[in-house]
Amino acid sequence: MSTLHMVNKSPFERNAMQSCLEHTLEGDGVILFEDGVYGAVKGSAVTGLIEKKAGTVKVYVLGPDLAARGITDGRIVDGITVVDYPDFVELVTTHERTQSWL
Amino acid sequence: MSEAKKFLYVNRRAPYGTIYALESLEVVLIGAAFDQAVSLAFIDDGVFQLAKGQDTKGLGVKNFSPTFRALGDYGVTKFYVEKESLAERGLSEDDLMPITYEDENDGFAEKPSLIFVDRAEMARVMRDQDVVLSF
């Protein structure tokens, strides 16, 4: 039933993450990667969007993309899970479909 | 042959600033030719693709908006349009091209292809698919 939503654009440049979150349903997963990882950082203008969905949607962020951008795990919004590449593949297989938000 | 899969093409971009909208339409036509169950979704700036009165003569590029009206002949008869995306852009349903199809199961009666849904309904339409392709 569930969908893995994939967001790879900065939420400060495009509305992909916002639109994605507004179209999620309970049980869905959202993975932030590439420039999408900026959406996972605490205390930004978009933090509230993620916190609002925290109860119903599981949010993941790709660790290597955080590290590349100098973002330490301590700066990630509470409740977001940091994953590696094998985890990402696993998420694709454990959700029924994927949906990209370009 | 396996059963046809349900494909949803999600359009989130305005038509002429980038190539996304035209490429989406090309892929939709290909999918339809392969007898898949194809429907379209228009959200965010994607709703601009359906605007009435598009005239690209001054740009020297193809106005592909009339092609949407031909999709019914390829069995593509469901265009889900998000009401919130229209409202956010100051658009109403009347600002869009009328798009219809002939229902071969109902004496070829002409029926509207545009289905206006709210954001929550759109989320359920997305979850109802086998494959979701984004443009």
pLDDT in tens, chain A (102 residues): 799 999 999 999 999 999 999 999 999 999 999 999 999 999 999 999 999 998 899 999 999 999 999 999 999 999 999 999 999 999 999 999 999 999
Do A23 and B135 make contact, defined as CB atoms within 8 angstroms? no
**What pLDDT is recorded for position B2?**
62
What is the percent of chain A with per-residue pLDDT over 70, rounded to a whole number?
Answer: 100
Question: Amino acid identity, residue B10?
Answer: V
Do A22 and B119 make contact, defined as CB atoms within 8 angstroms? yes
Closest C-alpha among A21, A23, A29, A20 to residue A1:
A29
Confidence of residue B4 (pLDDT cuts 50, 70, 90): confident
Closest C-alpha among B133, B41, B40, B52 to residue B83:
B41
Do B131 and A97 make contact, defined as CB atoms within 8 angstroms? yes
B13, closest residue in chain A (CA to CA) = A102
Confidence of residue B3 (pLDDT cuts 50, 70, 90): confident
Say which CATH number the domain at B24 has.
3.40.1260.10
Whether chain A has a CB inside 8 Å of the CB on B54: the answer is no
Residues of chain B found within 8 Å of residue A100, distances taken between Cβ atoms: 134
Residue B66: inside a domain: yes
Residue B112: inside a domain: yes
- Contact yes or no for B47/B85 (Cβ under 8 A): yes
Whether chain A has a CB inside 8 Å of the CB on B132: the answer is yes
Whether chain A has a CB inside 8 Å of the CB on B125: the answer is no
Of residues B119, B123, B132, nearest to A97 (C-beta) = B132
Residue A52 CA to residue B101 CA, distance in Å, equals 40
Of residues B20, B123, B129, nearest to A23 (C-beta) = B123
What ipTM was predicted for this assembly? 0.84
Domain that holds residue B77: 6-134
* Tokens of residue B84, six digits: 């919130």
Residue B108: inside a domain: yes
pLDDT in tens, B91-119: 999 999 999 999 999 999 999 999 999 99
A98, closest residue in chain B (CA to CA) = B132
In this prediction the pTM is 0.91
Closest C-alpha among B34, B106, B130 to residue B75:
B34
Residue B1: inside a domain: no
Residue B25 CA to residue B43 CA, distance in Å, equals 15
From residue B21, alpha-carbon distances to A37, B14, B49 in Å are: 26, 7, 7
Q: Across residues B8-34, what is the average pLDDT?
A: 93
Number of domains in chain B: 1
**What pLDDT is recorded for position B46?**
97
Do B122 and A1 make contact, defined as CB atoms within 8 angstroms? no
Count A/B contacts: CB-CB distance under 8 Å.
Answer: 38
| CA within 13 Å, CB half, B99 | 28
Do B12 and A19 make contact, defined as CB atoms within 8 angstroms? yes
Residue B73: inside a domain: yes
Decide: helix, strand or coil at residue A31: strand
